[in-house]
Copies of this chain bind each other. A is one copy, B any other.
């Protein structure tokens, strides 16, 4: 690190403007980084370009984040913040969980390049903690036993993040790669030898890459069905195997 200490945002007192007159903040840096990645692709996220976009010396970023990885986690946490923004419990646990899942998915998909970079990371930051609190709260109110909370929460979060990353990957492809992807299905598959690839050859005219619809809502409902079934067993026998997907 250029400097060992990164002052946490709430304790910052002195705000000294940049040579170009910009007053930096964690929030401003995060927002600028998200904009940068959205406009120019994930490859454009470098400390130097970020400095340029901010109107500050690149190394100033290190006064706010310990390194690029720290910044990345902050971007992920901002996605979570936006997902939770305005959410409130409806009182129906299944509705709540579905809503939380869809919000998380949507927040990441609105910035696919960020999702691709950060969706698989545990941020350990405030908004992630808020999300955990919300999910645990819904599960407890629904009547799930405390001993199952960690596992159910883990499965739920995994499902959402896995699909967020997956669907983001399709959206975030640079135009050239997306074109190459489509070309593979449209051009090369129909030309494959019927000897070596009989099934593709026989149905090539019907095979087009299906990218329009996300499988997430369907998968989420399957998961929630499993939770409902588990909860209704709750009163009867003690603990059987826990649904984890």
Contacts and interface: CB of A to CB of B under 8 A. Distances in A.
Interface of A: 116, 120-122, 124, 129-130, 132-133, 136-137, 140, 146-147, 149-151, 153-155, 158-159, 161-163, 165-166, 169, 180-181, 184, 188-189, 192, 196-200, 202-203, 206-211, 213-220, 222-223, 226, 243-245
A146 B222 contact: no
Contact of A166 (B153, B162, B209): B162
Contact of A136 (B122, B124, B200, B220): B200
A146 B210 contact: no
Contact of A147 (B151, B192, B206): B206
Nearest to A215: B245
The quantity of this chain's copies bound in the complex is 2
Contact of A244 (B124, B209, B213): B213
A146 B206 contact: yes
Contacts of A149: 203, 206-207
A136 B203 contact: yes
Contacts of A169: 120-121
18 contacts: A116-B120, A124-B181, A124-B184, A129-B188, A129-B189, A132-B189, A132-B200, A133-B196, A136-B200, A140-B202, A146-B206, A153-B210, A155-B210, A165-B165, A165-B166, A216-B245, A217-B245, A219-B219
A71 to B, nearest CB: 15
A130 B197 CA distance: 8
A148 to B, nearest CB: 9
A116 to B, nearest CB: 7
Given A159-B219, A162-B162, A203 B124 contact: no
Contacts of A121: 169
Contacts of A120: 116, 165-166, 169
B151 A210 contact: yes
A133 B197 contact: yes
Nearest to A241: B218
